Amino acid sequence: MLKKLLSVIAVTALLGSALINGSAPAIAAACTIDGQNATCVGPSIKELARQPEVRYLKWQNAGKDLSAIAGLPQITWVDVEVDFYADVRPFLELPQLEQVAITVDTEPMVVRKGKEFTVPSIKFFDGNPFEYDINDAKSAWKLTEKTGFNRFKATDLGTDYYVQDWYMGKQDGPNRSFDWYYYPEGIGKITVQDDLKLVNPKLTVLRAVSNGNDVSPGAVVTLSGQYNNSLAATQTKCVWYRDGVVVKDLGRGKNTGLCGYEIRKADSGKKITVVADHSTNYHRYEDAILRHTDTLSGTYNLLDVFKHKASISGANHVGSSLKALISKKVTGAKFSYQWLRDGKAIANATKSTYTLAASDVNKRIGVRVDSKKVGYFSDTQIVTGDSKVKKGTFKVTKAPKISGKSVFGNTLKVDPGSRSEKPSKYTYQWLRDGKTIKGATKAAYKLGTADLSKRISVRVTATRAGFTTQESTTGKTKAVAKATFKLKKSPSVSGSVKVGKKLKAEPGTWSPKPSSYKYQWYRSGAAIKKATKNAYKVTKRDRGAVLYVKVTAKKTGYIDKSAQSKVK
């Protein structure tokens, strides 16, 4: 009598990380016994041999080797989880076995478009049923075609294919046979894929300064790009070559980033090549299903990197000289400079120093320093001042001073003195007892009548574009005194000293020329009353006397001065 015993295959449809990596989660081996029922986890069930009362076994994660079941002849019912290639024939040796439910640990399958997907004993096609005969001693699973088969097509992409319900027929008598039927329905999935490719593969430099093929120490060259499908389990085996000789074999990793290779001195200028073998391995019992190889090459020059730092020294005001400083200079390096005003180049400012000008006021001054040396990366550093440029200030280093005597008619001059920065212009304002003298704005001033008895000073103003105007006032002179005449020729008297005759006085010659003269005639040393004109008529009283005249020169701003003629 033929009995129908239900056996279930649950095809794993998850794309989780455990299956992707080709291994199921590890489960510790253990058995729990409850009367005639036993639940075991893992391949070891030897402890059940000491439990003859157990009749019903739930066996999880049994693996591939099921021979341990032969030591339990009393078992009548088994619910077992096995690997895909498990040999289930040991169950046929159990004399009391009435029913077995088998769950097969399988995985999603990936198939190249237009090609068969093959495992050692089973071929999966487009959903037609299969029949398996386990009487064949050479293989645990033998495929017998039931109908015609077709290869997968592009239209099959994403189609779900399922397996469920295995049936085992048991025939009475010594010649039992078990027939297993595979039906395309259930909870598995087969995916049709193009061959694996890396889109836009290229070599990328990481963790370093790079400029074209020039790289700095520590540079890591890695393979980058994206795969043409969403197969997260893609792995890459990278082998690096220097001029055709293997320098590093990185083995197989899970992503292209593991292809990184650090450039060394021996690599500088040589041809560096990576051969990257990409593959997928969704089914852990099969070699890579999809594969692609990329070969990329590059030449890299390993250059050192300057470690110096540029800075600016100097006061930040007009007239100050700024200097570009460089710390940790490399011997033999060449430096060039360009000073900047608010980020723009200043014409002809290409030396290591720069003097701040009026055009820099309220601007930020910086400098660009370019560094070069063979074997080094060219370096550019831009340093900018923290604050805007201020106007310059003058510091008096020599005070202004008046020269000349403070005497009426004299011309006074002023020496403007000197400043810490040279002014572009001086202006002057003369002062009389501290008050402005109208129109007196030159470096020289001639003393006039208004200045008599007054003290004179001058205010000097220094100016220059970009500088704060600076004023200094000289000390005051002595009170301005009257001037004195200089007699060049003495007065004289002409005429005959006879009673009734007139004498005439010549005032002489004076410097400067007086504006007027005053006369006084004398008789033997005594002033003659009312004889105050330049002419005098001799009288009887003058007989026997000595006559002469005294002339007094007069002029505004001058002290009156007298001179006597010779006697007559």
Q: Where are the domains of the chain?
A: 3-192, 198-302, 310-384, 396-473, 484-564
Average pLDDT over residues 367-371: 98
- How far apart, in Å, do the first and last CA atoms of the chain sit? 195
CATH 3.30.43.10 fits 484-564, yes or no: no
Q: Is the Cα torsion angle 313, 314, 315, 319 positive or negative in sign?
A: negative
Q: Which CATH number fits domain 396-473: 3.10.20.740, 3.30.70.330, 2.60.40.2700, 3.65.10.10?
A: 2.60.40.2700
- Within the chain, how many helices (H) and strands (E) appear? 1, 51
Local structure of 214: helix, strand or coil: strand
- Of the candidates 269, 303, 268, 301, the one whose C-alpha atom is nearest the C-alpha of residue 376 is 303
Does residue 507 have a pLDDT over 50? yes
Q: What are the two backbone dihedrals, phi and then psi, of residue 272, each rounded to the nearest 5 degrees?
A: -105, 125
Q: Out of 230-234, 344-348, 514-518, which region has the weakest mean confidence (pLDDT)?
A: 230-234
Domains 198-302 and 484-564 share a fold: yes
Q: What is the mean pLDDT of the chain?
A: 79
What pLDDT band is residue 78 in, cutting at 50, 70 and 90? confident
Rg for the chain (alpha carbons), in Å? 61
Q: Out of 176-185, 269-278, 332-341, which region has the weakest mean confidence (pLDDT)?
A: 176-185
Q: Are 245 and 275 in contact (CB under 8 A)?
A: no
What pLDDT band is residue 81 in, cutting at 50, 70 and 90? confident
- Determine how β-strand 37-41 pairs with β-strand 56-63: parallel
Q: Give dist(CA 267, CA 247) in Å, integer.
A: 10
> May I ask the CATH architecture of the domain 198-302?
Sandwich (2.60)
Long-range pairs for 118-123: beta carbons < 8 A, 24 or more residues apart: 119/84, 119/283, 119/285, 119/286, 120/85, 120/285, 121/85, 123/149
Q: Are 223 and 201 in contact (CB under 8 A)?
A: yes
Share of the chain above pLDDT 90, in %: 58
Per-residue pLDDT tens digits for 248-287: 998 777 655 668 899 999 999 999 999 998 877 654 444 4
Distances in Å between the alpha carbon of 430 and those of 242, 398, 404, 407, 435? 88, 19, 14, 16, 8
Does residue 490 have a pLDDT over 60? yes
Burial of 268 (0-12, 13-18, 19+ CB in 10 A): middle
Q: Which CATH number fits domain 310-384: 2.60.40.10, 2.60.40.2700, 3.30.1240.10, 3.90.1150.10?
A: 2.60.40.2700
Does residue 393 have a pLDDT over 90? yes
Query: Using alpha carbons only, what angle is made at residue 496 by residues 491 and 502, rounded to the nearest 5 degrees?
Result: 75
Sheet with strand 77-83: strands edge to edge: 30-34, 37-41, 56-63, 77-83, 99-105
Q: Give dist(CA 122, CA 132) in Å, integer.
A: 9
What pLDDT band is residue 403 in, cutting at 50, 70 and 90? very high
Long-range pairs for 337-346: beta carbons < 8 A, 24 or more residues apart: 337/367, 337/368, 337/369, 337/370, 338/367, 338/368, 338/370, 339/365, 339/366, 339/367, 340/365, 340/366, 340/367, 340/368, 340/382, 340/384, 341/365, 343/384
Q: Are 402 and 413 in contact (CB under 8 A)?
A: yes
What pLDDT band is residue 34 in, cutting at 50, 70 and 90? very high
Q: Are 70 and 95 in contact (CB under 8 A)?
A: no
Local structure of 107: helix, strand or coil: coil
Q: Out of 46-55, 186-195, 550-559, which region has the weakest mean confidence (pLDDT)?
A: 186-195
